[in-house]
Amino acid sequence: MTSALDITRTVKPPRAVFLNFPLGHQTGKPHEPELQRRILLDALGAFETIAQPGTIVELPYVWDPNDRSWEERDYTKGWMPVPPSAQEADADDAERRARFGSPA
């Protein structure tokens, strides 16, 4: 299961199910067990029926039709969004940010 379609297409898994939800929420929204159950059942059903290697099934669920701002985040410098103040401070910095072994 994935919510990063471009990355999934690049790595070419044998089969995948894509859900256009924010990263880390491939199984649905928090505190919505019925939605989570439907998503998981749909994903398992897709995995059973995918016959062509490399197939990516896109599930039809919508996170929030009025808010797609999470799709516009720039993850090119890492998986966590960079605060605007940090973006301005290091605009001339290297392409990649330093990584840390544990969360800040």
Per-residue pLDDT of the chain (104 residues; tens, 9 = 90+): 999 999 999 999 999 999 999 888 889 899 999 999 999 999 999 999 999 999 999 999 998 888 777 676 555 545 455 555 554 555 545 555 666 666 65
What is residue 96's predicted lDDT score, i.e. its pLDDT? 59
Q: How far apart are CA 4 and CA 24, in angstroms?
A: 10
Residue from 78, 59, 56, 77 nearest 9 by CA: 56
Q: What pTM does this model have?
A: 0.65
Q: How far apart are CA 68 and CA 57, in angstroms?
A: 21
The contacts of residue 56 (CB under 8 Å, 6+ apart) are 2, 5, 8, 9, 15, 16, 17, 18
